[in-house]
Chain A
Amino acid sequence: MSDYTLETEAGRREALRRMLLIREFDTTAGERFNDGDIPGFVHLYIGEEAVGVGTCGALEPEDYVASTHRGHGHCISKGLDPELMMAELYGKADGYCNGKGGSMHIADVEAGMLGANGIVGAGPPLATGAALTIDYQDRDQVALAFGGDGSVAQGQVHEAVNLAATWDLPAIFVIENNQYGEATPVEKQHNVDNLSDTAGAYDIPGVTVDGMDVTAVYEAVSEARDRALAGDGPTLIEAETYRYRGHYEGDHEPYRDEAEIEQWRERDAIESFKERLIERGELTEAEFEEMQAEVEETIADAVAYAKDADLPDPEQAYDDMFGEPVPEIQQFASRPRADGGTEGGDPT
């Protein structure tokens, strides 16, 4: 079984803990970016936690996930280590990609995380490819791609879904409709009422679920997984959700107002799931607070770890680029460095 499932009490508590972990991770990542600690860009998942956690709760550890530019939540849902993730955000050698990927490129193929991705709609082709591998090798796994609402209009997403549908591949496509493609409201990007309507074009099942409800997401993905494993092909799931933060940190968000954010916050996925567990007698307020404190400590530790970790050696810039050593690159890499050597230095 997955390392958590929403079928059991312990699994539901773990799901809640992961949602909290995602929120704390991204809140902290935003603050660290804000204070200038983190190079590059961060796109935060705050508000959308139920989609990642509900989805990955329905997957097995060996299943593949292809993520998006807003990928921290997917990574944590898939069980990646917040310390190594934070180290990657800080560009440190201990990070998942040795500090060379950063926020938008966290990958851990061993853990089934095929990678976050800076290209809109680049996840589905990866998932279709992984699903083809699974199908070819006749393994009991599925490959799932996350994509945003904007990605639905991308040509490569159409190609990926079409191929997976035509070949009945064990793939699942989860569209996180967070209502805005960067700054463009979803209704100004698409001509369909629900993005899952596009499934009709491929003659595959398409469902729209409440992406603020972790259980609803879990159930939809579980069903899709069963279908994929049975050889009945892919499913397209649209999860209606909302990001509380801007498209990126520093986004001035002229396209929406505070009232709209507040409206979605009232349906907050963590808050409502917590209330549900308390109602069912599976959690107490005190236990929740303890959970929250633990999560805060985990993330504080992750930041401390990332801050202390070493930067990669400059020579590592040439590592992991080619499967086989390339003589020209080797030669280039072995040349004296501009910061230390005299080569190409000041002609005077």
Chain B
Amino acid sequence: MGYIVRMPKLGLEMKEGTLLEWTVAEGEEVAEGDQLAEIESEKSVAEVEAREGGVLRRVYLEVDQTVPPSTPIGILAAPDADISDLEAEAEADLAEEAPDVAGVEAEAAASAPEGGGAAESAAASAGGGGAAGGASADASAGADVKASPRAEKRAEELGVDLSTVEGTGPQGAITADDVETAAESAPASDASTEPADVKASPRAEKRAEELGVDLSTVEGTGPQGAITADDVEAAAEAQETAAAAAESAPAARDTGEIRRIVPDDAAAYRHERATAVADEAGATALFETTEAVRSAFEERVTMTDVLAVVASAALADHPIVNATYAEGTHQLHESRNLALAVDIEGEPTAGVIPDADELSITELVEARQDLGGDGGEAVPTFTLANAGETDAEGRLVNEPAVAALEVDPTGQRAVPGNDGVDLRPLVTASLTYDTRALDGADAEAFLESFFDHAERASELVLGSYRGRE
């Protein structure tokens, strides 16, 4: 018999797996069901078991290498079985399925693969490399503690500091057994690591998790002093009151938080982004208005100020965008507290201009220039970023505000002109919105309104100038 051991496919979504450990060495004998290797995929660890008894005859994958599921990683067969067919199949698969593995291996062997010989040379070096795999200390970062994820998990469970554990695994890596041994030999005194037994109903436990309440601080009023969901809610309220009181000192708000998220972030699931491009009239108006105001009245005006005026007008049309979302409530706000976002060394930072809609352009400029100062404690209801001044990746969110607008006026568009091609300004605007409060149609409507107002930017700015000075 014998078979090709492959990187297992664990579930529907698995894209690739990393070999953490060969638990048997090449040439070692195993029984059916014995663990052959440990692999990691998307942060979880799984064992590769022997489907039959035999000897691990070939090893195609080294520790820390990552391959897609179903890639051959070894061959298990009886010690004397002829495995040439299995080898041929595995090597063909390796050459076909995982060119990058072949590439890496070939590089390691310092043999440039050429043409059709790539498969053989890659596979051969893979086999050879694998034999030495366990021992070829891969000069990995020295200070790093080498431990298998399972060991890390055990260490966390048992409260063991990994840096104090001696590893007995391959390359001195710490195994789960090492952690257990260390835990046993540790002074068994630390009673505090044992969580106090808190009696609480499952619903209470759930509420506590939702509200971020530490159950050990809650007094129970249920049967036998058990904590009920009501107790948790009361405790959460008390916590909030206390927190609000503590907040009079200017500390970081834990609700108001500006940051950038990328689609992989856990938070991204509730933030979507809609993008629109200004038509030429809108784009031109934004630039011309900025220039006109600068030369005529106020040299300190930048496009950011003009964008703030335009955004404010669009918010007046779409009050649901000028809002916050917290504790299940989409709260609309009368005052437009505009957070202006700038990226400082790649980190988004925002200052809030309270009641931005009531300011003249001059006041707006002053407020903007003053943002670095005391800042104020106003909760932002909307966030604006002039992306021309940043080059950060990711969606801008500023919770609890439900939407953040990034306008990028730096683009150029080529249009046929008299002498060939003319370059015209291209302005794009992206609204990142909290899907619990807004949907795509809301976002698109807002963007459309934003560009409509952009076309009459000069009126808006002049209005704000004349009307109030």
Q: Which residues on A are within 8 Å of B, measured CB to CB?
A: 31, 33-37, 40-41, 248-252
A91 to chain B, nearest CB (A): 14
Please tell me which stretch of B2-10, B99-107, B218-226, B410-418 contacts chain A, meaning at least 4 of its Cβ atoms lie within 8 angstroms of it. B2-10
Q: How far is the CA of A36 from the CA of B11 in the complex (A)?
A: 10
Cβ B11 vs Cβ A250 within 8 A: yes
Cβ B11 vs Cβ A248 within 8 A: yes
User: Is B69 an interface position by the 8 A CB rule?
Assistant: yes
Main secondary structure on A side of the interface with B: loop
Nearest chain B residue, comparing its CB with the CB of A39: B12
Cβ A36 vs Cβ B69 within 8 A: yes
Nearest chain B residue, comparing its CB with the CB of A28: B51
Q: Which of A31, A35, A40 has the most C-beta atoms of chain B within 10 angstroms of its own C-beta?
A: A35
Q: How far is the CA of A172 from the CA of B334 in the complex (A)?
A: 62
Q: How far is the CA of A252 from the CA of B12 in the complex (A)?
A: 13
Q: A31-B51, A250-B14 are in contact. Are A36 and B44 (CB under 8 A)?
A: no
Q: Besides A40-B12, A250-B8, 14 other CB < 8 A contacts?
A: A31-B51, A34-B8, A34-B9, A36-B69, A36-B70, A37-B70, A249-B9, A249-B10, A250-B9, A250-B10, A250-B12, A250-B46, A252-B10, A252-B46
Which chain B positions have C-beta within 8 A of A248? 11
User: Could you name 5 residue pairs across A and B whose Cβ atoms are closer than 8 Å?
Assistant: A35-B8, A36-B9, A248-B11, A250-B9, A252-B10
B183 to chain A, nearest CB (A): 18
Q: How far is the CA of A7 from the CA of B6 in the complex (A)?
A: 44
Cβ B6 vs Cβ A41 within 8 A: no
Q: How far is the CA of A250 from the CA of B9 in the complex (A)?
A: 7
In-complex Cβ contact of B70 among A35, A40, A41 (8 A): A35
Cβ B11 vs Cβ A249 within 8 A: yes
Interface string of B1-35 (1 = CB under 8 A from A): 00000101111101000000000000000000000
Main secondary structure on B side of the interface with A: loop
B252 to chain A, nearest CB (A): 35
B191 to chain A, nearest CB (A): 25
Q: How far is the CA of A37 from the CA of B69 in the complex (A)?
A: 10
B377 to chain A, nearest CB (A): 43
Which chain B positions have C-beta within 8 A of A31? 51
In-complex Cβ contact of B6 among A36, A250, A252 (8 A): A36
Cβ B6 vs Cβ A35 within 8 A: yes
Which chain B positions have C-beta within 8 A of A34? 6, 8-9
Q: How far is the CA of A322 from the CA of B45 in the complex (A)?
A: 45
Cβ A35 vs Cβ B9 within 8 A: yes
For window 34-83 of B, CB contacts with A under 8 Å fall at: 44-46, 51, 69-70
Which chain A positions have C-beta within 8 A of B9? 33-36, 249-250
Question: Nearest 4 CB-CB pairs, A to B?
Answer: A36-B70, A250-B10, A250-B11, A34-B8
Which chain A positions have C-beta within 8 A of B12? 40-41, 250
Cβ B8 vs Cβ A252 within 8 A: no
Which chain B positions have C-beta within 8 A of A251? 11
Q: How far is the CA of A35 from the CA of B6 in the complex (A)?
A: 6
Nearest chain A residue, comparing its CB with the CB of B72: A35
Which chain A positions have C-beta within 8 A of B8? 34-35, 250
A284 to chain B, nearest CB (A): 24
Q: How far is the CA of A249 from the CA of B8 in the complex (A)?
A: 10
Q: How far is the CA of A36 from the CA of B45 in the complex (A)?
A: 18
In-complex Cβ contact of B44 among A35, A40, A252 (8 A): A252
Nearest chain B residue, comparing its CB with the CB of A36: B70
Which chain A positions have C-beta within 8 A of B14? 250
Nearest chain A residue, comparing its CB with the CB of B8: A34
Which chain A positions have C-beta within 8 A of B69? 36
Nearest chain A residue, comparing its CB with the CB of B70: A36
Q: How far is the CA of A250 from the CA of B389 in the complex (A)?
A: 47
Which chain A positions have C-beta within 8 A of B44? 252
B152 to chain A, nearest CB (A): 15
A144 to chain B, nearest CB (A): 30
Interface string of B306-341 (1 = CB under 8 A from A): 000000000000000000000000000000000000
B38 to chain A, nearest CB (A): 13
B72 to chain A, nearest CB (A): 9
Nearest chain A residue, comparing its CB with the CB of B41: A250
B333 to chain A, nearest CB (A): 41
Q: How far is the CA of A35 from the CA of B8 in the complex (A)?
A: 6
Nearest chain A residue, comparing its CB with the CB of B202: A188
Q: How far is the CA of A250 from the CA of B44 in the complex (A)?
A: 10
B93 to chain A, nearest CB (A): 10
Q: How far is the CA of A37 from the CA of B14 in the complex (A)?
A: 14
Interface string of B261-303 (1 = CB under 8 A from A): 0000000000000000000000000000000000000000000
Which chain B positions have C-beta within 8 A of A41? 11-12
B312 to chain A, nearest CB (A): 40
